């Protein structure tokens, strides 16, 4: 998942959809960062 592609995909969405997308991305980032901390 490349951030450049994501940004392009978000543009035509409604504000609510954009907010939900951003929240889910933040959750994914949080989980990935946790995983990195656990496995190092």
pLDDT tens series, the chain, 40 aa: 555 555 555 566 688 888 998 999 999 899 888 877 766 5
Q: Which two tokens stand for residue 15?
A: 């504000």
Q: Domain of residue 29: give its range.
A: 3-39
As a whole number of angstroms, the distance between CA 26 and CA 24 comes to: 5
As a whole number of angstroms, the distance between CA 38 and CA 40 comes to: 6
pTM for the whole structure? 0.48
pLDDT at 33: 87
Cα–Cα separations (whole angstroms), residue 33 to 7, 12, 13, 30, 36? 21, 29, 27, 5, 5
Q: Which two tokens stand for residue 1?
A: 């998942």
pLDDT at 2: 53
* Count of domains forming the chain: 1
């Amino acid at each position: 998942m490349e951030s450049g592609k994501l940004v392009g995909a978000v543009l035509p969405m409604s504000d609510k959809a954009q907010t939900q997308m951003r929240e889910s991305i933040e959750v994914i980032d949080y989980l990935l960062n946790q995983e990195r901390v656990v496995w190092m």
